[in-house]
Homo-oligomer: A and B are copies of this chain.
């Protein structure tokens, strides 16, 4: 994986892919699937996301204020669903599903090299956690896998239905 400039992070998350969120707390790593996230600012990249009190990752995220957001392509969609179908409360998902991991540079949570992009994040805003489980994260380091340049992401439509990225079109937009 190579460095991705922080100014380009929004281009990965703005299209709304299903992502994985990895945490490490008290010697225990965990990973969950997540579709409720959005960009909040370009640079430094800020991301809002919902991690619910029902998610086993909630406590680790609150305690460590760190996580990794990893973006899987459709090639690992089966793994993504397995990760989403169980809780870290009951299963060591890394061991159960033989998930590869790699030491991150700035956070304790692991990078997931099976994903084509990995974003090391710190929690910077918690005012809306109590009422909405809404965290704002700052991406402090971003990684991209050049070998997966044309990775197709997946987008959840509910109850196991996913839309895979299709045609790429270019329009005369003046928007960044």
Chain A interface (Cβ < 8 Å from any Cβ of B): 8, 10-11, 14-17, 33, 35-41, 46, 48-50, 74, 77-78, 81, 84-85, 125, 127-128, 131-132, 134, 136, 152, 154-176
B159 lies within 8 A of A164 (CB): no
B74, B159, B171, B176: which contacts A176 (Cβ < 8 A)?
Answer: B159
Q: Which residues of B sit under 8 angstroms from A128, Cβ to Cβ?
A: 125, 127-128, 136
Determine the distance from Cα of A40 to Cα of B128 in the docked complex, in whole angstroms: 11
Q: Which residues of B sit under 8 angstroms from A168, Cβ to Cβ?
A: 157, 161-164
Q: A16-B16, A48-B48, A77-B171 are in contact. List 15 more A-B contacts (CB 8 A).
A: A8-B158, A14-B35, A14-B36, A15-B156, A35-B39, A40-B50, A81-B171, A81-B173, A155-B155, A158-B176, A160-B170, A161-B168, A162-B169, A163-B165, A164-B169
Determine the distance from Cα of A110 to Cα of B161 in the docked complex, in whole angstroms: 31
This chain: how many copies in the complex? 2
Q: Which residues of B sit under 8 angstroms from A152, Cβ to Cβ?
A: 166
Known contacts A48-B134, A78-B171, A132-B46; decide if A157 and B11 are in contact (CB<8 Å): yes
Determine the distance from Cα of A49 to Cα of B59 in the docked complex, in whole angstroms: 25
A72, chain B: closest CB distance, angstroms: 12
**A-B contacts, 9 listed (Cβ < 8 Å):** A14-B16, A14-B156, A33-B175, A37-B38, A38-B48, A155-B165, A158-B176, A159-B176, A161-B170
